[in-house]
């Protein structure tokens, strides 16, 4: 696989459910994003006096070790309700427009997560892999959202503690295993509070969107031009809701539907990964090296489920102290569902695991978790939980609720449903009250916004893109009929041409345009 595409595959958004991911809160309601904006200066007015120093700050650009890129540090209020209080430092990077052609301003990019490093995505993919005509006309820019990567990152566990956490059984068979799972979730939340308690209440998507508006102003742009993937679509849509008159050209690729509650989102995503696995299975049984048989996709599903059950009972060696059990194996399989170009790697990894060598499948899981060779972890999963646990009420708050929901999750995915249901409990024990709730985003008055959906996207099911495009008053749906997570830059000339034309000329695709 091309190294840039590999980087893209594992840094694109985890969205809301994932293996250890879901929205969560203590169940309290909160003001809408628009109300939050109004409290600190609405989109149609100049910023409040207390915010003016942030909007007027000058970035000091410096080389940052990657040829062609500059870096800077931007300040924003830690708490927008107290803009005269403490500030937070945010990492910003850019690659200036290369020309030829008239410069169109800045193009902010975000790979999603939440928790994905936008700076890393810019330097590793977008700044060198986006279409040349786009990079020629725009300064490519990224900011790591608050709590993420280089922007005062949320920390929760040590490397060894995270190793243990990723191996916890997510398909408990009895009361003792259920207790071990809930204890691990409580310990995770407690670790986040202990190590990052000051920042935890202030890493919401609303706050990150407000940070983007400060960056827009500091960069000298009247409008925000933006490409967001997966969770980055929720961030972009939230910006449009807060500041509709400052929307420039927004591409929301692999869209999330902000109107859905956590339980439905998690169930939808469970079905999304099942759809993606079925596509993999149909392809796999046509290959001579398919370790799941060559008879039917249904048989392949049964074989994978049986393999997971065997690992649940007896993990296999990996050549290191960690063994490959059901949880890590499931993570490895799911990691490969994000991009069909990873399917050959998954076939080989499954084949090795089925003869007792778990190392290749463990490597896929480690890529998903951003685990380094020295046993340390990036803060992806920590930031992911911290953001999700502020943004939405929980899917579940107790094991009994999960038990009652197992049938609907297993119906959505016979292979992954049980684990996804239990993983949806992760924010039920969060220590920081949430500040968000499901709601429709219309962004009335915003310029045309392009919403992109992939028909067999595992992480952000296609119906979410339809839902967001319908909600946005100026939304236009662009459909990619294919596999994998998101569409832009995945090899479809039709998709890339439509998005490039929009970014360069401002012309939106025809309504309901479909591409292959």
Active site residues: 230, 457, 485
Instruction: Count each helix (H run) and each strand (E run) in the chain, helices first.
Output: 20, 10
List strands edge to edge, sheet with 70-77.
62-63, 70-77, 87-95, 138-143, 105-110, 224-229, 247-253, 449-456, 475-483, 513-515
Q: How many CB atoms lie within 10 A of CB 93?
A: 25
How far is 94 from 72, CA to CA, in rounded Å? Answer: 9
3-state secondary structure of 335: helix
The residues near 472 (Cβ < 8 Å, ≥ 6 apart) are 237, 240, 441, 442, 443, 446, 449, 451
Q: How far apart are CA 310 and CA 326, in angstroms?
A: 8
Beta bridge partners of 37: none
Cβ(149)–Cβ(123) below 8 Å: no
Residue 195 Cα distances to 41, 91, 113, angstroms: 32, 20, 21
Q: Give 74-105 as a 3 state SS string.
A: EEEECCCCCCCCCEEEEEEEEECCCCCCCCCE
Rounded to an integer, what distance in angstroms lies between the CA atom of residue 388 and that of residue 443?
22
Q: Find tokens 């859905």 and name the residue.
A: 260
What are 355's two structure tokens?
Answer: 């003869």
3-state secondary structure of 25: coil
Q: Are 300 and 292 in contact (CB under 8 A)?
A: yes
Distance CA 336, CA 229 (A): 17
First-residue to last-residue Cα distance in the chain: 21
Give the H or E element holding residue 109. strand 105-110
């Amino acid at each position: 696989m091309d190294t840039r595409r590999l980087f893209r595959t594992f840094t694109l958004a985890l969205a809301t459910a994932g293996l250890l991911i879901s929205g969560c809160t203590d169940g309290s309601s909160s003001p809408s994003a628009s109300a939050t904006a109004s409290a600190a200066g609405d989109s149609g007015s100049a910023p409040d006096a207390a915010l003016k120093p942030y909007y007027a700050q000058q970035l000091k650009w410096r080389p940052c070790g990657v040829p062609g890129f500059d870096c800077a540090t931007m300040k924003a209020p830690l708490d927008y309700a107290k803009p005269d209080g403490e500030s937070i430092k945010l990492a910003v990077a850019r690659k200036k427009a290369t020309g030829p052609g008239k410069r169109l301003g800045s193009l902010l990019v975000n790979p999603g997560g939440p928790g994905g490093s936008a700076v890393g995505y810019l330097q590793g993919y977008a700044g060198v892999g986006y279409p040349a005509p786009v990079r020629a006309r725009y300064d490519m820019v990224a900011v790591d959202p608050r709590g993420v990567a280089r922007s005062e990152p949320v920390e929760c566990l040590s490397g060894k503690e995270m190793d243990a956490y990723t191996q916890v059984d997510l398909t408990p068979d009895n009361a003792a295993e259920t207790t071990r799972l809930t204890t691990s979730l409580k310990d995770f939340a407690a670790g986040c509070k202990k190590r990052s308690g000051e920042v935890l209440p202030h890493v919401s998507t609303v706050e990150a969107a407000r940070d983007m508006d400060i960056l827009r102003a500091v960069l000298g742009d009247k409008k925000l031009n933006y490409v967001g993937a997966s969770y980055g679509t929720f961030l972009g849509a939230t910006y449009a809701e807060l500041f509709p008159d400052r929307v420039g050209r927004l591409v929301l690729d692999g869209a999330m539907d902000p109107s859905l509650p956590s339980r439905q989102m998690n169930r939808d995503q469970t079905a999304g990964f099942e759809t993606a696995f079925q596509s993999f299975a149909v392809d796999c049984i046509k290959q001579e090296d398919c370790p799941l048989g060559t008879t039917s996709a249904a048989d392949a599903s049964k074989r994978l489920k049986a393999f997971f059950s065997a690992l649940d009972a007896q993990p296999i060696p990996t050549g290191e102290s960690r063994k490959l059990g059901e949880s890590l194996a499931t993570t490895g399989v799911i990691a490969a569902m994000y991009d069909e170009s990873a399917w050959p790697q998954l076939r080989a990894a499954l084949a090795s695991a089925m003869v007792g060598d778990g190392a290749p499948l463990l490597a896929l899981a480690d890529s998903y978790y951003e685990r380094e060779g020295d046993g340390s972890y990036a803060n992806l999963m920590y930031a992911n939980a911290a953001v999700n646990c502020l943004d939405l009420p929980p899917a579940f708050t107790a094991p009994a609720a999960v038990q009652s929901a197992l049938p609907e999750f297993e119906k959505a995915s016979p292979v992954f449903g049980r684990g996804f249901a239990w993983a949806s409990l992760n924010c039920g024990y969060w220590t920081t009250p949430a500040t968000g709730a499901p709601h429709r985003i219309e962004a009335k008055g915003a310029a045309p916004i392009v919403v992109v959906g992939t028909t067999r996207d595992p992480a952000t099911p296609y119906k979410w893109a339809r839902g967001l495009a319908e909600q946005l008053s100026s939304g236009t749906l662009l459909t990619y009929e294919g596999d994998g997570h998101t569409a832009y830059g995945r090899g479809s000339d039709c998709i890339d041409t439509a998005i490039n034309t929009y970014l360069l000329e401002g012309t939106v695709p025809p309504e309901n345009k479909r591409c292959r």
